[in-house]
Amino acid sequence: MTERTVAIASAQGLHARPASLFAQAAGAAGIPVTIAKTGGSPVNAASMLMVMTLSAAHGEEVVLTADGPQADDVLDSLVGLLATDLDAEV
């Protein structure tokens, strides 16, 4: 199991637009990916609704995990996405 920790860069946290972009990328990864607040229960990263239930705010850390081929590359890509202010790219 591969794991990465990243702080949410989006100014408004993981609300609808950033959660949707992140979930789409996680779903396209081709391997199961989970996301959790540090110390919290993991949820399916490919589900926008589950990602939104985390209520992850700007600056909060989340933990991403994946298992499978290219897990390192997948998580690196998803970390890059969450480390970007997705609200600024409108």
Looking at residue 90, its pLDDT comes to 53
Active site residue 58: no
Residue 30 within any structural domain of the chain: yes
Alpha carbons 47 and 1: distance in angstroms, whole number: 20
Residue 29 within any structural domain of the chain: yes
Read off the pLDDT band of 89 (50, 70, 90): low
pLDDT in tens, 41-87: 999 999 999 999 999 999 999 999 999 989 999 999 999 999 999 88
pTM (predicted TM-score): 0.94
Residue 90 within any structural domain of the chain: no
How many domains does one find in the chain? 1
- Residue 48's domain comprises 2-82
Domain CATH for 49: 3.30.1340.10
Catalytic residue (one of 4, 12, 15, 76): 15
